[in-house]
Amino acid sequence: MKGPLSRALLAAGLTVIDVAAQLSVDPKTVNRWLTGRLPYPRHRAALAALTGWPERDLWPGIDARAQAVPNTNEVLAVYSQRCSVPPDTWRRLLFRAGQEIDILAYSSLFLAEDAGAQAILRAKARAGVRIRIALGDPNGAHIARRSNDEGIDGMMSARIANALVLFESLASEPGVSLRLHDTVLYNSIYRSDNDLMVNTHIFACAASRTPVIHLRRASREGMAATYAASFERVWSAAHEPRAHQISRS
């Protein structure tokens, strides 16, 4: 027996090819919808508009089904390694910010060393964008443990110290806050308004060699909201650097 979507397309005189062309998707995707796959919200709205059928008639029990289907609509891109993310991608992420930028990492040295990114951060701060940067405490127990796990005993603290020096002048700008944390990070988080770049962490592997997920927050819940909440928890427990922790020696 044909399902509601099949009947609605037939009644509207639309073929699989017609729908695929109008929604800019592969015909195989349309066929999966016809065999029971629940389309993303934007596609459901488009199909309702094409057929003239309400979504509740095209997908009976949609609320219950939607709750059972993970929301992957927030994932914009996945990079196999952080080092494969083009530098311009990080700069565009920062440049698009209109309200806030958050950075949570152990050292984020790659970004601290990027003069272009630093210039964008400074310009954004002067334009009124709130910037919060949380780096690892060079003297923290968890930071030492992470350094040992990566097989670079003592180097993590040195990287953080270097990043602190590079971020020092930025931290003097209005609206910029710099704090230190002693937390086990499962991800580094780089947030620009509703866009987040999440750099996953893997045991005994440098962050530059682990995957990065680009998310765009679409609702108050979901993946992006989970990572944003994680940043807030670490930030609330972090402390401002002490004078001796920012040194040019």
- Domain with residue 62: its CATH number is 1.10.260
> What pLDDT does 249 receive?
38
> What pLDDT does 200 receive?
96
- CA–CA separation, 96 vs 28, rounded Å? 35
Asked whether residue 126 falls in the same domain as residue 206, the answer is: yes
Mean of pLDDT values over 78-86? 93
* pLDDT exceeds 80 at position 243: no
Q: What residue numbers bound the domain in which 61 lies? A: 4-68
Asked whether residue 62 falls in the same domain as residue 81, the answer is: no
* pLDDT exceeds 80 at position 105: yes
Single out the residue in 51, 68, 85 at which a domain terminates: 68
> What pLDDT does 138 receive?
92
* pLDDT exceeds 80 at position 242: no
Identify the CATH number of the domain in which residue 229 sits: 3.30.870.10
Which residue from 172, 167, 143 is spatially nearest to 157, judged by alpha carbons? 143
Asked whether residue 56 falls in the same domain as residue 103, the answer is: no
Q: What's the domain count of the chain?
A: 2
Asked whether residue 89 falls in the same domain as residue 131, the answer is: yes
Asked whether residue 18 falls in the same domain as residue 125, the answer is: no
Asked whether residue 206 falls in the same domain as residue 97, the answer is: yes
Is pLDDT larger for residue 151 or for residue 82? 82
Is pLDDT larger for residue 172 or for residue 70? 172
> What pLDDT does 222 receive?
86
Asked whether residue 175 falls in the same domain as residue 120, the answer is: yes
pTM above 0.75, yes or no: no
Asked whether residue 24 falls in the same domain as residue 89, the answer is: no
> What pLDDT does 152 receive?
76
Q: From residue 204, how far is each of 1, 108, 154, 180 by CA, in Å?
A: 54, 17, 14, 22
